Amino acid sequence: MAVPKRKTSPMKRGFRRSADALSAGSYVEDKDSGELRRPHHVDLKTGMYRGRQVLAAKN
């Protein structure tokens, strides 16, 4: 049976547990299409960002 050679320090234990506090990503409703998208990201379906066309829209 595997046995730890050294006691895990509170700092290392905290590093490992820090991932437990991560929350799910937030989404906002797009004003034009009504679809959910990440805030401050380009809407990939329409290619719009902050009211401007920055990418070619997907067909």
pLDDT band for position 6 (50/70/90)? very high
Q: What pLDDT is recorded for position 11?
A: 97
Every domain of the chain and the residues it spans: 26-59
Res. 58: pLDDT tops 80: no
From residue 23, how far is each of 12, 26, 44 by CA, in Å? 21, 9, 24
Q: What pLDDT is recorded for position 33?
A: 78
Candidates 48, 49, 25; CA nearest to 38 is 25
pLDDT tens, residue by residue, 21-56: 888 889 999 887 788 889 999 888 888 888 899 988
Beta bridge partners, 49, equal 52
